[in-house]
Amino acid sequence: MTIDLDDEDDDLRTILANLRRYDVSHSRARQLRRRCHARLQTEPRTTAAWMVAASPFRGVVIPALGAAWCLTYLFEIIRYSGVISAYFRSQ
Amino acid sequence: MTAMAPDDEQMLVARLRAGNPGAFDEVYDAYRPRIFAFLLRMTRHRTIAEDLLDEVWLRVVRGAPRLLPDTRLGPWLFTVARNLYWSYRRDAVVEESSVPELLTLWPCPRPWPSPFELAAAGELERRVEHALATLSPQYREAVLLVGHEGLTPTEAAMVCGISPEALRQRLSRARAALAQKLRETPAVPTLKRGFAT
């Protein structure tokens, strides 16, 4: 616990931290686990394992490609503007 | 209550997102008792807590594919549990206010001491459980998340959907209220263990 507690709170903090743990019965826990496993089998996966592994790579490459395309587009606009203005100046 | 190493947790989240049953089991075994205890202390009703617990884990299965890689499992699971609790509570209030004649049939705070309190091991623990039960749900959840579950105030604030500063204030007031109620709570009469079910 990261909050500041003065001495008077120490007992309370200890009691709270050590309150009894509760759980459902074993049979209910097993039954719920089975239901969840069955759902896991049928749940559509939007992220395959290879996609999870590749996600940091995609996070870098896709923005980089996008930025490169934008820069090329901007460069071409400037270049064509220069060509057009040079044409009119020469007339 | 021990925190998982961030790298281990990220690996676990990645496996959970991929639908790995082993990863689900690890999370389920580690967090099921904690989530259940939280729901039990919030609802004060074992059957309702069990039903909400079922729904929490089914939502975990549904939501797992959409988890972000850096998701902290503890705060996320408690957020799901807390949202379900408040949703249940809102529904119960609507039902109670719209059908007053059925009010007595709905789960309501038991006259003290409840079987839940009597199940607690010691006198002091019973007093703390009773004092906790009399706190408002907002105070109770703050105390449970930080004081019992060991979440940081920032994580607990995320779970409760408030700012860390607001959570700190709420926690401070809750601790003061809890200490006051503990001072006021008399000793609980000892009953036979057979009633403590």
Question: What ipTM was reported for this prediction?
Answer: 0.74
The model's pLDDT over A9-43, given as tens digits with 9 standing for 90+, comes to 677 788 888 888 889 999 999 999 999 999 988 86
Nearest by CB to A2, from B17, B120, B152: name it.
B152
Q: What is the mean pLDDT of each run of 10 residues along chain B (197 residues)?
A: 70 91 94 95 93 96 91 94 94 62 49 53 78 92 93 93 94 91 68 35
* B1 close contact with A: CB closer than 8 A: yes
Classify residue B53: in a domain, yes or no.
yes
Residues B115 and B149 in one domain: no
Classify residue B102: in a domain, yes or no.
no
User: Looking at chain B, which residue has its C-alpha nearest residue A17?
Assistant: B148
* A46 close contact with B: CB closer than 8 A: yes
Q: Which of B119, B154, B172 is the last residue of a domain?
A: B119
- The SS3 of residue B44 is coil
User: Looking at chain A, which residue has its C-alpha nearest residue B28?
Assistant: A33
pTM of the predicted structure, to 2 decimals: 0.69
Q: How many domains does chain B have?
A: 2
Residue B127 sits in which domain range?
Answer: 122-186
Residues B58 and B149 in one domain: no
CA distance B141 to chain A (A): 12
CA atoms within 13 A on the CB side of B184: 10
Phi, psi of A60 (to 5 degrees): -100, -50
Spatial contact of A32 and B53, defined as CB atoms under 8 Å apart: yes
Residues B114 and B176 in one domain: no
Residues B78 and B36 in one domain: yes
Classify residue B62: in a domain, yes or no.
yes
For position A8, what pLDDT does the model report? 52
CA-based end-to-end distance of chain A: 79
- In B, residues 123-152, which contact A (CB 8 Å cutoff)? 124-125, 128-129, 143, 146-148, 150, 152
What is the distance between the alpha carbons of residues B155 and B6, in angstroms, rounded to a whole number? 14
- In B, residues 159-178, which contact A (CB 8 Å cutoff)? 168, 171, 175, 178
Model confidence at A50, pLDDT cuts 50, 70, 90, reads low
Check CB contact under 8 Å for B148 and A17.
yes
Q: What is the CATH number of the domain that holds B156?
A: 1.10.10.10
